[in-house]
């Protein structure tokens, strides 16, 4: 029985991605208004062991006998860097498999060099920066009162100086909060000082925690992208819909059930990659 792995999920940016959930639902150091896994039950800043790492490794071994994902991705029911075992499990995957590793993180712990050192062997890190304005950051990400956006910015700087792999920086756009040209100008001032592979503009794809949060129109996303390019940040892309793949994957029903427990997937979305 699989408890910690799910999918492979239809990922709009990673192809076939096997999810690994290192935390218990839902443990996070933020409670984002757009989160697709629902409201944070355990808002915590404390790193800890949530699960037995040996059980997780066993499950990864088992699943890889059945499928060959493009990435093993740490995401799921909360913030993966809260797990003290993330480094050990990444290193184990790199040593025992030939699958690339991705860490999706809200970036709040990246100012801690211990955390950056633990995830340094991942092939790809996707941190999020939705705003450099503390008020807007707090409205969107709703971290604990002691956290602010300067910590995220320091973390991204720390990551970009110490990490040698690819960084896809994600910015989640919400109309009326972080979609103005003035906001993009402030982001650019900061982003010019850090190193990243590309900036990805994201928008709501499923149901968010706060029902009033809606998908941002393509028109607005294109305007923001154009503004970034005009101001000198050229490696910007809008995350598009999941493309249908030619050779559909036979999926284990248990893994698909685990996946659906994390997020609401639409039937047509699943049919793009699975034989179901």
> Applying CB under 6 A, which residues contact ligand SF4?
28, 30-32, 35, 37, 40, 78-79, 106
Q: Which is nearer to ligand SF4, 31 or 216 (CB)?
A: 31
Q: Which is nearer to ligand SF4, 63 or 109 (CB)?
A: 109
Q: Which is nearer to ligand SF4, 32 or 256 (CB)?
A: 32
Quote the Cα angle for 30-132-112, to 5°.
Answer: 55
Minimum CB–partner distance for residue 31 and ligand SF4 (Å): 5
Minimum CB–partner distance for residue 132 and ligand SF4 (Å): 17
Q: Cβ contacts of residue 52 below 8 Å, gap of 6+?
A: none
Minimum CB–partner distance for residue 128 and ligand SF4 (Å): 7
Q: Which is nearer to ligand SF4, 249 or 259 (CB)?
A: 259
Q: Which is nearer to ligand SF4, 32 or 251 (CB)?
A: 32
Minimum CB–partner distance for residue 21 and ligand SF4 (Å): 11
Minimum CB–partner distance for residue 29 and ligand SF4 (Å): 7
């Amino acid at each position: 029985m699989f408890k910690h792995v799910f999918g492979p999920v239809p990922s709009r940016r990673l192809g076939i991605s096997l999810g690994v959930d290192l935390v218990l639902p839902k443990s996070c150091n933020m409670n984002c208004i757009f989160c697709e896994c629902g409201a944070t039950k355990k808002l915590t800043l404390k790193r800890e062991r949530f699960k037995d790492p040996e059980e997780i490794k066993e499950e990864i071994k088992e699943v890889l006998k059945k499928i060959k994902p493009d990435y093993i991705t740490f995401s799921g029911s909360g913030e993966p860097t809260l797990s003290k075992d993330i480094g050990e499990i990444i290193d184990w995957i790199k040593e025992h498999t030939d699958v690339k590793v991705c860490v999706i993180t809200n970036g709040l712990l990246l100012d801690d060099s211990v955390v950056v050192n633990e995830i340094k062997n991942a092939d790809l890190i996707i941190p999020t920066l939705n705003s450099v304005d503390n008020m807007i950051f707090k409205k969107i990400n709703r971290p604990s009162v002691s956290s602010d956006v300067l910590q995220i910015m320091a973390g991204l700087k720390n990551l970009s100086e110490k990490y040698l792999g690819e960084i896809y920086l994600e910015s989640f756009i919400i109309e009326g909060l972080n979609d103005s040209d003035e906001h993009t100008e402030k982001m650019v001032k900061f982003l010019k000082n850090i190193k990243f592979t590309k900036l990805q503009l994201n928008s709501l794809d499923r149901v968010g925690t706060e029902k009033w949060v809606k998908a941002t129109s393509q028109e607005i996303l294109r305007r923001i992208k154009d503004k970034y390019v005009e101001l000198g940040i050229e490696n910007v892309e809008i995350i598009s819909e999941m493309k249908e793949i030619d050779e559909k994957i036979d999926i284990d029903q248990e893994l698909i059930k685990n996946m659906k427990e994390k997020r609401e997937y639409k039937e047509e979305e699943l049919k793009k990659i699975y034989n179901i």
